[in-house]
Structure 1
Amino acid sequence: MQENKNYTGPLIIIGLLFFVFGFVTWVNGTLISFFKTAFGLSNANSYLVTFAFFISYTVMAIPSSYVLKKVGFKKGMSVGLAIMAIGTFIFVPAAKAESYPLFLAGLFTIGIGLTLLQTASNPYATILGPRESAAQRISILGIANKTAGIISQKVFGGILLAGSVAGAALSSKEQLAKVITPYMILTGVLIALAVLILLTKGLPEVSEEQEGNDNSINLAKTSIFDFPNLVLGLIALFCYVGVEVIAGDSIISYGISLGFSSEEASQFGTYTLWLMMLGYVLGIVLIPKYVSQQTWLKLSSIFGIIVTIFALVTTGFTSVLCIAILGLANAIMWPAIWPLAIDGLGKFTKTGSAWLIMMIAGGAILPLVYGSLADFLHSSQTAYAIMIPLYAFVLYFAMLGYKKKSW
């Protein structure tokens, strides 16, 4: 019986990978502000950071599923870490060449490696235990992710943004040279982790039978698009990732636009992550014993809409704080949407998971739309209105969309 299995070891390994996800992902908010200053970029161009990083998920998610089928989950994770190491190393010649496109190429390469890792690890987190408590397990992994994000923002914010007023006199080359040492260290760590994952014996392979069970409903289905709960879940995940990245990665630049110093604003991103961690802790305690995954998703969507409205109508630090509070609204959305979307897919689970990973493209496209809107409106604050309809669709999925089993 599944309940009698000990999944502690595999979950610890997956937790380590989620830590890696968080460390390299949540530094993007710092990089947006850093590159904006170093290269003199517009809002829209600065958000090419998130575009280059997250669009790799769309490009590589399906190929990643084929790679995992060929080499297995464990070797796939090791390959993903090695690819990430190549991406972080690209930052060194990019800094020396003062090339923003080369930095973007490095971010895209990091994203390719992360796609492999996430395509493998998210199904693990769902199946390593009862499916109804999947959100609880992913919440625990989320704490590892956000802890890493807080550490990376503290470290990279301190290195790249601290003393920026005095550093304004530095040349672009001198500013960009700041990334060389930390990214060389990060490259070494990723290589070490790749070797560790390859050598570990604690992570079993996963069979399709473990991923999901066929039933009379899906035996007649021939495509993942025959599952409305998955299709609507894809859109919901796209919207969710978009609002999470907009809120998390724009807050530093938003703070600077309101007159806060770079050093002060560099801390704002950690507020978002601390509040996300609070959300994960609440999820661990409350889901599924007191609140179902879908009920939490519904409440989170409503909360996100309300807080966004407050961010639009308030000023100064209060408005910044509202953007940070969105971290609490966003915390449980990923682990709640994921199991609801893949429920009942059976043999289509692997492909469905790959498509869900593709929807991380919301973090590539929607922040770029936000940045363009901020330039057009000459207001980073007003541009946050884009998040209201995105939360509204997640609310629809939480109330009705996940229930649809046929078109």
Structure 2
Amino acid sequence: MTSPATSPRARRVSERLGGIAESATLKVDAKAKALKAEGRPVIGFGAGEPDFPTPGYVVEAAVEACRDPRNHRYTPAGGLPELKQAIVDKTRRDSGLEVAPSQVLVTNGGKQAIYDAFAAMLDPGDEVIVPAPYWTTYPEAIRLAGGVPVEVLADETQDYKVTVDQLEAARTPQTKVLLFVSPSNPTGAVYTAEEIREIGRWVEDHELWVLTDEIYEHLVYDGVETGSLPVLCPDVADNCVVVNGVAKTYAMTGWRVGWMIGPPDLVKAATNLQSHATSNVANVSQRAAIAAVSGDLAAVEEMKTAFDRRRRTIVSMLNEIEGVECPTPHGAFYAYPQVKGLLGRDHEGTRIDTSADLAEYILEKAEVAVVPGEAFGSPGYLRLSYALGDDDLVEGITRLQKLFA
């Protein structure tokens, strides 16, 4: 007879989901917004979300789509044919990668693309090498798909970029996939073209899969020569999945349109999964995405100019704080300072031992929201998004300077 404590009904939540952590970045952002709603002057550096509105021509495309009855009905689970073709054309234009519509799956944001891809690639126990610091969703998506994330840490002395020697040391007979992200969230690190080629040769030698997340492809600064992994390493293209979307490039985080590009058989399997999980992405959002990826990059360049200005400001100001070391990021819109000099001591009577403690202290004392490095697999660091207004950025970092003066 089954005891009440061990009966299936006693487990209110499945083990699979019970072990999944809430998104740390969204949690910080939600807390900052809740405090703002209470009237507190919180400045949030937590969310990776451009502060710009979606370009007007994209919004107008959505308005027109709302009026068209075609968009009031189900459409193919894998994406509107027009959008898949537009993604093919955009991919050729922006990265030089030649693909066919059968290699494209349109998803509900980049997160679903990442999960769909891992679900299609992984069997239980398969290992995925995950360079750290990593975006919080990657390990959770791997675990949900039955895989095992294997973390490889690169700190600021390596510009947050892993080496082939590190990857080789982490490889086992169970290794199936390398996760590769450049430009990086959370560090802003950008791998050079030669570094990418070296990693590609290692992948080819060991016949691995690669999932490469290119969501920040247009946000590269300082003239760094980089590129798309399957373009620079064509011999691994048949075992490569590219994840991308409109969220960061076109300030469309709320529209929820991403995509994965990969071999047709893998994309077909992922499409079958999506057909049961969510069916098609909202048609109005897909129509807006067509306008976004088919248009020119003028709005993107305008945002990039602002991000570049803010990047230089935040790095300079953070490095003025004693105990903080902030390398200059070359991509995305994040600063990832090392803050170990602020740990292991009392601040105004409060003992701060970890970067998680530090983030809590900063929110309480300075009313500034940041994300601790624990969320990204590297305690002793903080992530600050500089995708917020110039005035708020300066005010927020000034508060930190005063707090730790």
Instruction: Give the TM-score taking structure 2 as reference length.
Output: 0.27
Greater Cα radius of gyration, structure 1 or 2: 2
More strand by share: 2
Asked which structure has the greater RCO (Cα within 8 Å, sep 6+), the reply is 1
